[in-house]
Amino acid sequence: METRRPSRHKTAVSRGQQATCDICHKKKARHELVPFPGVRPNISDLIRADDAEWGEGRFICREDLATYRRKYVESLLEDERGELTRLDEEVLDTIERHEIITRQPGERVDEAMSFGERMADRVATFGGSWTFILTFVLMITAWIILNVTGWLFKPVDQYPFILLNLLLSCVAAVQAPIIMMSQQRQEQKEAPG
């Protein structure tokens, strides 16, 4: 025997049907309503305190459910602490609006960066890139070729390239502490709290 599946049209119509929220008595799309079994028992108790008829076969809209969730969390916090702090209120507001509460870990650290810290991050980012490595290899190769062959000018730094060694040492001496500063900043960003 062949079972028939409902047509797509019929499913779309049933999703688009409207029903009334039993709490605020507003017409809502069926998918915006949560049935009684979909509500946690503790929150159902709060709803029942306001509406004695709340039970099987009843529906609540998501906005009203968010309000009751907030009341429930509020009561838990008040029982535990006695009163709500400003932070508690802020957390409850974001829960009710279904927003993200946390920030990216490095956000607060980035807000208080000094000019030197921003420069250290930029130099470390550039110093650890392929652009820097390839540019540096090309410059050293050009330096060696020009000083060995003397094409454009009289060689300034003939073999064994003492001036080039001095310049490379200076770059390393400056770049190392800058990279270390940037690493410390990364540790601050990743540190909890």
* Separation CA 30–CA 25 (nearest Å): 13
- Phi, psi of 33, deg, nearest 5: -110, 145
Beta bridge partners of 20: 27
- Phi, psi of 61, deg, nearest 5: -75, 160
CA 117 from centre of chain: 22
Q: What is the pLDDT of residue 167?
A: 92
Q: What is the pLDDT of residue 70?
A: 84
Q: What is the pLDDT of residue 5?
A: 44
Q: What is the pLDDT of residue 193?
A: 54
Q: What is the pLDDT of residue 139?
A: 93
* Separation CA 173–CA 30 (nearest Å): 68
Beta bridge partners of 160: none
Q: What is the pLDDT of residue 105?
A: 52
Q: What is the pLDDT of residue 107?
A: 54
Taking the alpha carbons of 84, 85, 86, 91 in that order, is the dihedral positive or negative? negative
Q: What is the pLDDT of residue 10?
A: 37
Per-residue pLDDT in tens (0 to 9) along the chain, 193 residues: 444 444 433 333 345 588 889 889 899 888 889 999 999 999 989 899 998 889 898 999 988 888 898 888 888 888 877 777 777 788 778 777 777 766 655 555 566 778 888 888 888 888 888 999 999 999 999 989 988 888 777 888 888 899 999 999 998 898 888 888 888 877 777 766 5
Residue 24 DSSP one-character state: T
Listed by start position, the domains of the chain span 16-96, 107-190
Q: What is the pLDDT of residue 87?
A: 77
